Structure 1
Amino acid sequence: MSTDRQPVPSKDFMIQVQNLSHSVDLGTDKLSILQQVNMDIRKGESAAIVGRSGSGKTTLLGLLAGLDLPISGTVSLDGHLISALSEDERASLRSQRVGFVFQSFQLLPTLSALENVMLPIELAGLPNVKSKAESLLKRVGLGERMQHTPRQLSGGEQQRVAIARAFAVNPQVLFADEPTGNLDTRTGEAITELLMNLNSEHGTTLVMVTHDQQLAERCQRYFIIEAGVLHEKTEKNAEVLSA
């Protein structure tokens, strides 16, 4: 009998995962990436997923955001069972509820910082496009750099633009993949502080994949993934998981 079942939607949880497993087909064999992952993240919580390269953390982030579908198990995002949605419905869910911050920033190189932040607001059909984008860029400390293109900005400045863009449509959940991975220590700390402040001020659920344990310690929830198996680090099991 299958252990997979549709999670009961809860207004308290942004993410609910049950018995999630995922693998990739190598032709003659399958490579297991995630094994029987279970996790629940409440609305407004901050959570970090820590693991070595190749441990499955970025794959898990993509599944949580509905960018891919698991081989087995279920993922619920804000009460919506992702596997029950069509591709268009998943895209609509992401556009309405989800923000992304990528390690590689993924800014459009020919657009200014202001235009990069305005774009998702325009696509969402929201009002006050320019004023809202300007306000967000000022909030992340780029009030004097709005007309600069990405190549005219430092790595830390580009990441600030990416964060402003991610918050442009007031997402209910923000997924960040190694948000400080390409930054020096000082800039990374500033970006960490910015993400935490925005999480607190907006009540946005924050889910970050990171190798930075100091960043992970700032989050309310701390998950460790190793060889596709996920455990939550708590005061009771901290020594065992850190061994």
Structure 2
Amino acid sequence: MSRAILEVEGLNQLVQDGESSLSILENISFTINQGEAVAIVGASGSGKSTLLGMLAGLDIPSGGVVRFLGHDLTQLNEDKRATIRAEHVGFVFQSFQLLDHLSALENVMLATELTAMPNREKACRDMLERVGLGDRLNHTPKTLSGGEQQRVALARAFVRKPSVVFADEPTGSLDFATGQRIIDLMFALQKEQGTTLVLVTHDEKLAARCSRQLTVVAGKLVQEAV
């Protein structure tokens, strides 16, 4: 039986807009189990990226509970949430979020600095080889194509074999063909490692590759499609 990785109960997020409050998320509840691939979909401004940030413990909701591996993130301070992310979470962003002054290898190694990982450099080299960048280890981001930069980002996200990888529009900055190769690689890594994948996307084909889709409309979960 699969264990729950993420449990969300009655999640709400309000922001102050002058003298009134604006509801960004309203009464969101769902569970994501180990090894699932789940897409969060919805129109721009629906609240899906805000929801992803809550799941990762990057932000704290106004109300409700987010449990990550049994830890109630809403009751932890930022230092404790950061420790959980360092040990259990990988990220993939639309804009890659690589450091320009570091090589591909150094960017991947940066993700391992806060964890006790034996043979860190070898593990990072092996992961870059796995994503097809074995001959680009010492290249900085500005000398890499967009697809190559996103492969560095995938290597960085998966190198520690995290419990969860959160991906925010991972193909949004790429052309169609390059995006398809990134999608194939991301799901291959997820399957190899048994990682839980939670992604936000506008790409219907990418969402369809996931085992489930959570549809958010105006801050509310209106559909959970298998």
TM-score normalised by length of structure 1: 0.90
Deviation, structure 1 residue 23: 1.6
Deviation, structure 1 residue 122: 2.7
Residue 85 of structure 1 corresponds to: 76
Q: Note if 1:150 corresponds to 2:141.
A: yes
1:97-116 Cα offsets, whole Å, 9 max, x none, are 11111111110100000110
* Aligned partner (choices 29, 32, 36) of residue 23 of structure 2: 32
The count of residues paired between Structure 1 and Structure 2 equals 226
TM-score normalised by length of structure 2: 0.96
Residue 102 of structure 1 corresponds to: 93
1:151-202 Cα offsets, whole Å, 9 max, x none, are 0001111010011001122210000000000000001111111111111110
CA distance in 2 between counterparts of 1:37 and 1:189 reads 31
Residue 6 of structure 1 corresponds to: none
CA distance in 1 between counterparts of 2:15 and 2:90 reads 26
* Aligned partner (choices 65, 74, 89) of residue 74 of structure 1: 65
Residue 131 of structure 1 corresponds to: 122
Alignment of 1:185-200 (within 5 A): 185-200=176-191
- Contact 1:103–1:181 at 8 Å: present in 2 too? yes
**Aligned-residue identity in percent:** 54
Deviation, structure 1 residue 11: 7.1
Gaps of 5+ in 1: 1-9, 236-243
Residue 163 of structure 2 corresponds to: 172
CA distance in 2 between counterparts of 1:91 and 1:122 reads 13
User: After the TM superposition, which segments of 4 or more aligned residues of structure 1 sit over 6 Å from their partners?
Assistant: none
- Contact 1:11–1:79 at 8 Å: present in 2 too? no
CA distance in 1 between counterparts of 2:55 and 2:199 reads 11
CA distance in 2 between counterparts of 1:69 and 1:59 reads 10
* Aligned partner (choices 203, 206, 218) of residue 194 of structure 2: 203
Secondary structure of the structure 1 residue equivalent to 2:113: helix
Deviation, structure 1 residue 31: 1.5
Deviation, structure 1 residue 52: 1.1
Q: Note if 1:60 corresponds to 2:51.
A: yes
Gaps of 5+ in 2: none
CA distance in 2 between counterparts of 1:201 and 1:77 reads 22
